[in-house]
Structure 1
Amino acid sequence: MLSNQLATTYAQAIFELAQGKNLLDQVEKELLMVEETIKAQADLATLIYHPRVPVDAKKDTIRKVFGSELTDFVCNFLLLLVDKRRETVIEGIIREYVILANKARNIVEAEVTTALPLSQAEQEQLGMKLSKVTGQVVAIKTVVDPAIIGGVVVKIGDKLIDGSIVRQLKAFEQALLRTEVTKIGVTS
């Protein structure tokens, strides 16, 4: 819980500074690149997140790995996180920053789960329909999960629209279980 609060606080701080400098898109791009690099390189993640690695070693590594690819603004933010021993919440900060930046752009993220991959045309069509419903631009993140059998599950923020076949089958099963079974008499 504390790490979520820290992530939100730091994300809000860098968001407000980036917005004030008109750097929302640039900062988001750089933060996402940092996140991808850390996830892709296990040794780097271990070095940055390990509590026994000295602060100076972490800062030197950040400068060497990211220095030329980041603006001073983002690089200094990462170094501040290391100084404050908050490097373990980097991913949470980035996630929260993206949410804040999208909100400022009137964009909402939707996680769409289907049994089979959606074509680009289907994604665009679904995006337009969801945009009409939400009144916002919808950025779709697709997930393929054969377990839902068919249909679609859409999650936007804390709202869930479950149109999956598996949910419908479970609802049907529950309805059958609640139905009182009576003996039907047949007369001739």
Structure 2
Amino acid sequence: MAELSTLARPYARAAFEYADSENALSEWLSELQLIAAVVSDEAVQNLLGDPSLTTEKQAETFVSLMGDELGESRKRFLHVLAENRRLGLVPNILELFAQLKAQREQSVDVEMVSPFEVPDTVRDRIAQALGKRLEREVVVSTSIDSSLLGGVLIRAGDLVIDGSVRGRLNKLAEALTN
């Protein structure tokens, strides 16, 4: 997996720098999301793996699949990826591009998992506390996992805060066995 990120990094950085210079980060991100969804389709994967298609034909076919959904600069970007046989890296490029955008905007996506629906006031207080700790704007998404007994599990990039009852019980069990 690290190899794919290594291959995707220069393309993501180039796309990010171009999009930033054009003040089009959001447009690029949304179109990269669309492209990544199309690239992930099994039929498209077969197309990309077809050795009988030239890179130019692959690019043209892919651009025609996208229709009028893409701006000209994204179409040119797809041609560059196709020429270098890197269309399959679009999901990795998207991930890296999104990380660069978040760094630029000083924001971080936070996932909060709980066994029940979290009230908006609690979610906002947690977001505010995390924002102070991480020194970034926090964008919180919530999900429900009924296997948690209580508490919350918070993921913000590499940071994981396990305040769940299940996590505390696991820590207690580990402490007792040591």
- Please report the TM-score for the alignment, with normalisation by the length of structure 2: 0.85
Superposed counterparts of 1:60-71, under 5 Å:
60-71=60-71
The alpha carbon displacement at 1:139 in A equals 1.8
Count the aligned residue pairs. 176
For residue 147 of structure 1, give the secondary structure of its aligned residue in structure 2: coil
Distance (whole Å) between structure 1 residues aligned to residue 175 and residue 104 of structure 2? 44
Q: Partners of 1:127 and 1:51 in 2: how far apart?
A: 47
User: CA 1:46 to 1:172, structure 2 compared with 1: closer, same or farther past 3 Å?
Assistant: same
Change (3 A) 1:4 1:101: same
What SS class does the counterpart of residue 116 from structure 1 fall into?
A: coil
Match of 2:25 in 1: 24
The one-letter code of the counterpart of 1:77 is F
CA distance in 2, matches of 1:37, 1:102: 23
Q: How much has 1:98 moved relative to structure 2?
A: 0.6
SS of residue paired to 1:151? coil
Q: 1:51 to 1:109 in 2, by over 3 A?
A: farther
Secondary structure of 2:112's counterpart equals: strand
Q: Pairwise mapping of residues 16-165 of structure 1 onto structure 2 (< 5 A)?
A: 16-39=17-40, 41-48=41-48, 50=49, 52=51, 54=53, 55-118=55-118, 122-165=122-165
What is the match of residue 2 of structure 1?
3
Amino acid at match of 1:4: S
Change (3 A) 1:56 1:120: farther
Gaps of 5+ in 1: 179-188
Shift of 1:84: 0.2
Distance 1:149 1:45, change over 3 A: farther
User: Deviation of residue 64 (structure 1)?
Assistant: 1.1
In the TM superposition, residue 13 of structure 1 has moved relative to its aligned partner by 1.0
Residue 28 of structure 1: how far off its partner (Å): 1.0
CA contact (8 A) 2:56 2:79 kept: no
Q: Structure 1 residue 51: deviation in Å? A: 5.1
Other structure's SS at 1:154 match? strand
Q: Distance in 2 between matches of 1:51 and 1:153?
A: 44
> Looking at CA atoms only, which structure, 1 or 2, has the larger radius of gyration?
1
Q: TM-score, normalised by structure 1?
A: 0.81
Q: Using the TM superposition, give the Cα deviation of residue 136 of structure 1 relative to its aligned residue in structure 2, in angstroms.
A: 0.9
CA distance in 2, matches of 1:150, 1:66: 45
One-letter amino acid of the counterpart of residue 35, structure 1 = A
Q: Secondary structure of the residue that 2:163 maps to in structure 1? A: strand
1:184 equivalent in structure 2: none
